Amino acid sequence: MIRVVIADDEAPAREKLRHWLSEQGDMTVVGSAEDGFSASQCIDRCQPDVAFLDIQMPTLSGLQVAAQLEPSSAPLVVFVTAFDEHAVKAFDLNAVDYLLKPYDRERLARTLQRVRERIRTHQSGAAAVAIGRERSPACDRLLVPDGERLELIDAASVEWLQADDNYVHVHTAVRTYLIRRTLQDLLSQLGGQRFVRIHKSTAVNLGSIVSLTPLFKGDHEIHLHNGRVLRLSRRYREALFARLGR
């Protein structure tokens, strides 16, 4: 059975989609939400196989919800909207499909077929997908929320990363972004050639390091180009020194 979450700020739209999905023998709706923040919580709680996300919702847009999902555990995403100007960003987020309101049963059926095909591909090639992720090159750009918009920033512009539970503060020279990801997942995306962990909750761009100052008991202070000083835990010292060629 394919588990589905529906997120739309319009109750009639949620009920229409729920009813049409109930006609499918292999679909079950396990949760619904009327705003972006509730949608994120619902996805975390229900662990669906696919999420139907309205793009324009209160608190967080559907695009922002999708951008903050962890790729390793994220459901498939179908965007649903009355506006077509978001299509490019939707497919940048690897959406399965983009349903333009008002859609009919025939159009939904094509979407559901794409969902089924994607799930079959994931299930049959799970091991190959995992290996591919390990070998995939680092991303050169990172999608981050910026108010009502999503912005693509250069990964090289990120100076350091700070974990905060299931969120990460992404610090650049210009500003700081908050994204809903784990630090480990974000480091996997950005790649180990550019960033290195210096504490259980902190990672730094190697290109941002200016100098290191020894402290007591093996810890160090790391000085960045922007004047920021970070603490290097002795647990991560050898890995950093190896990367710096010492």
- Dump pLDDT digits (tens) for 133-173: 444 455 677 778 777 677 778 888 999 999 988 789 999 98
Residue 243 confidence (pLDDT):
81
Residue 187 confidence (pLDDT):
84
Tell me if residue 221 falls in helix, strand or coil.
Answer: strand
Residue, of 222 and 183, whose pLDDT is higher: 222
Question: Does the structure show a pLDDT above 60 at 92?
Answer: no
Q: What are phi and psi of 56, to 5 degrees?
A: -95, 100
What is the rounded average pLDDT of the residues 88-113?
82
Residue 88 confidence (pLDDT):
53
Q: Rg (Cα) of the chain, in Å, rounded? A: 21
Both tokens of 22, joined, read 């109930």
Q: Encode pLDDT of 106-129 as tens digits.
A: 999 999 999 999 888 776 544 333
Residue 135 confidence (pLDDT):
40
**What's the mean pLDDT when you consider all of the chain?**
84
What is the rounded average pLDDT of the residues 85-104?
74
Element (H, E) at 223: strand 220-224
Question: Does the structure show a pLDDT above 60 at 50?
Answer: yes
Question: Does the structure show a pLDDT above 60 at 245?
Answer: yes
Residue 131 confidence (pLDDT):
37
What is the rounded average pLDDT of the residues 60-75?
82
CA–CA distance, 209 with 189 (Å, rounded to integer): 21
Which residue from 182, 174, 178 is spatially nearest to 157, judged by alpha carbons?
174
Cβ atoms 243, 196 nearer than 8 A: yes
Question: Does the structure show a pLDDT above 90 at 87?
Answer: no
Residue 33: band (very low, low, confident or very high) from pLDDT cuts 50, 70, 90: very high
Both tokens of 168, joined, read 């990460």
Lowest average pLDDT, out of 90-94, 171-175, 211-215, 221-225, goes to 90-94
| Distances, alpha carbon 197 to alpha carbons 23, 206, 216, 237, 243, in Å | 49, 10, 20, 9, 11
Residue 132 confidence (pLDDT):
42
What is the rounded average pLDDT of the residues 217-245?
88
Residue 192 confidence (pLDDT):
62
Report percent pLDDT > 90 for the chain: 46
What is the rounded average pLDDT of the residues 166-181?
88
